[in-house]
């Protein structure tokens, strides 16, 4: 069973005098495996799902140089049923993305996307970027998340890796609510997810 995934985000940063001249390096499409725990009235339900992600970033950047990381996910679809119940919609999405410690966030663009039910927004605090959108997306509907372009500035040395956030159900990187219809009642089921494993989406060497 697949559950919707927010456009997989990325670590980012930008704003200095030097500009990257290296051509973007596209890694092979990455399949993200998420472990999810849905807090249903019948107790926790464990639901894995997958999302394919294409990400690009320069292979190298000069110390203090600016560069972009671009992440695009494949079209996904909300399941029509879950656990034998009709899915009315999914809503209240939150995706967290860590900011690499040897880079600085300058800005982030969310472009494109379709059938999301609302406009995604982002904020950054405590070294973590949070992307949110309210939805709803109807059960059985296909949707396309916006492309994420993160503008970064490299630190003095090291490697800038793009990954996702989340280590457990109590420290999730992705959360959303699923509304299912049981008899004549609609029940909202909060769901918490984390990437397992958490692969490197892009890697840029400073120097």
* Residue 204: both structure tokens together: 């840029």
Pairwise CA distance, residues 181 & 34, whole Å = 24
120-151 exposure pattern, b = at least 16 Cβ within 10 A, e = fewer: bebeeeeeebbbbbebbbbbebebbbbbbbbb
Average pLDDT on 21-31 reads: 55
Pairwise CA distance, residues 43 & 52, whole Å = 29
Pairwise CA distance, residues 190 & 171, whole Å = 14
pTM of the model: 0.82
Q: Is residue 176 within 8 Å of 2, Cβ to Cβ?
A: no
Average pLDDT on 81-94 reads: 89
Domains and CATH numbers, the chain: 18-206 (2.60.40.2270)
Please tell me the predicted confidence (pLDDT) of residue 6.
29
Q: What is the mean pLDDT of the chain?
A: 83
Condensed to tens digits (0 to 9), the pLDDT of residues 125-180 reads 988 889 999 999 999 999 988 888 999 999 999 999 999 999 999 999 999 999 98
């Amino acid at each position: 069973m697949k559950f919707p995934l927010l456009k997989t985000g990325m670590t980012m940063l930008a704003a200095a005098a030097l500009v990257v001249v290296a051509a973007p390096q596209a890694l092979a499409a990455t399949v993200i495996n998420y472990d999810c725990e849905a807090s249903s009235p019948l107790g926790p339900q464990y639901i894995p799902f997958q999302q394919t992600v294409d990400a690009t970033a320069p292979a190298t950047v000069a110390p203090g140089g600016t560069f972009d990381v671009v992440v695009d996910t494949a079209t996904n679809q909300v399941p029509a049923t879950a656990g034998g119940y009709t899915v009315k919609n999914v809503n209240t999405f939150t995706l967290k993305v860590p900011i690499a410690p040897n880079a600085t966030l300058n800005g982030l663009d969310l472009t494109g996307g379709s059938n999301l039910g609302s406009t995604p927004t982002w904020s950054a605090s405590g070294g973590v970027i949070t992307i949110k959108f309210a939805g709803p997306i109807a059960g059985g509907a296909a949707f396309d998340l916006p492309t994420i372009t993160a503008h970064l500035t490299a630190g003095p040395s090291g490697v800038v890796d793009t990954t996702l956030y989340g280590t457990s159900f109590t420290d999730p990187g992705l959360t959303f609510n699923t509304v299912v219809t049981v008899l004549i009642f609609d029940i909202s089921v909060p769901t918490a997810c984390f990437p397992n494993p958490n692969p490197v989406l892009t890697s840029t060497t400073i120097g």
